[in-house]
Structure formats: structure tokens, C-alpha cells
Homo-oligomer: A and B are copies of this chain.
Amino acid sequence: MSDIKEITEALIKFRNERDWEQFHNPKDLALALNIEAGELLENYLWKSHDKANIEEVKEELADVLAYAFLLAEKYGFDIKEILLEKIKKNGKKYPVDKAKGTAKKYTEL
């Protein structure tokens, strides 16, 4: 079984044991993901990037990923597929010869 499938099954088992599917509509999953993303960000507030507490980053990042995986599962998205497709698409928005070494948005290249 793939890693992603194994993680997703563990998340779904956890959710179903608690009868939480009733709350997990896509809109609220997207809210939950945003809330966790904010908690992740809090680890970097008022400090430089190397001063974050790595254990807390790990936990908050796991929360973000959990909701991202649950949202993907809700729509039946294949995570590997949608990521590889997005990378391909971004390759057109950010061609190497224009994007190399610059952090500009594609609209400004």
C-alpha cells in the first residue's frame, strides 16, 4: 500500500471511530486547514526562521497535512497525481529561463 493511502486510511479510521464525518464537509475542512496553518505560522512570529520550536512545528504541520489529506479524500483526489500535475502547470507559469533566481510572481516575470 502506498504511504499516502496508509495515512489516509488511518485518518479516516480515526474520524469514523469518533463519528465525525458529519462535521467534515469540505468548507469546514478548509476552515480547519486555515486555522492549523495559522498555528503553524505562530511558531515563526517575532523571530527569525531558525528560532522556531521544531517539535511544535512538527505537530502543527502534521495537523495541516491531516486536513489536507482529509479534504483530498473527500473529493477523491489522488494526492500524487494532483501534485505532479500542479508542478507541470507551474513549470509553464515559471519557465526556468525567466524564473531562475528571482522570487517574482509569474504575473511580474
Residue numbers of A with Cβ under 8 A of B are 2-7, 10-11, 14, 17-20, 22-23, 25-28, 30-35, 37-50, 52, 54, 57-59, 61-66, 68-69, 71-72, 75, 77, 79-80, 82-87, 89-91, 94, 96, 99-101, 103
List 30 A-B pairs, Cβ < 8 Å: A3-B3, A3-B5, A7-B80, A7-B84, A10-B84, A11-B87, A14-B87, A14-B90, A18-B94, A20-B101, A23-B103, A25-B50, A27-B44, A27-B52, A28-B46, A30-B40, A30-B43, A32-B46, A33-B40, A33-B41, A34-B37, A37-B37, A46-B103, A54-B75, A59-B86, A62-B83, A62-B86, A65-B68, A65-B72, A66-B86
